[in-house]
Amino acid sequence: MTQIITSWYDGQRKVYCVECADSSPEVQAELEKAEDEDQLEISNEPQDALNQTCTACHRQISEVRDEERSYRVKVTITFECEVDVEAGSWVEAKSFVRETLSTIHLGNSKEALELELEENVPMTEAALVDDCFYEIEAAKGIIPD
CB of 40 to Zn ion, least distance (A): 16
CB of 24 to Zn ion, least distance (A): 8
Residues 33-62 that bind Zn ion (CB under 5 A): 54, 56-57
Using CB under 5 A, which of the segments 14-22, 92-100, 102-110, 125-133 binds Zn ion?
Answer: 14-22
- Which residue, 2 or 93, is less far from Zn ion as judged by CB? 2
- Which residue, 4 or 54, is less far from Zn ion as judged by CB? 54
Q: Which region, left, alpha or beta, applies to residue 58 given φ > 0 means left and ψ of -120 to 50 means alpha?
A: left
- Which residue, 18 or 139, is less far from Zn ion as judged by CB? 18
3-state secondary structure of 16: strand
Cβ proximity of 18 and 31 under 8 Å: no
CA 112, CA 108: separation in Å to the nearest integer?
6
- Which residue, 54 or 139, is less far from Zn ion as judged by CB? 54
Among 15, 20, 31, 34, binds Zn ion (CB under 5 A): 20
Among 17, 31, 49, 139, binds Zn ion (CB under 5 A): 17
Taking CB atoms within 8 Å and a gap of at least 24, the contacts of 68-72 are 68/1, 70/125
Q: Find, among 8, 7, 9, the residue nearest to 17 by Cα.
A: 7
β-sheet bridge partners, residue 4: 43
Residue window 58-97: x/- pattern of binding to Zn ion, with contact defined by CB under 5 A: ----------------------------------------
Rounded to 5°, angle at Cα 132 from 127 and 134:
150
Site residues for Zn ion per CB under 5 A? 17, 20, 54, 56-57
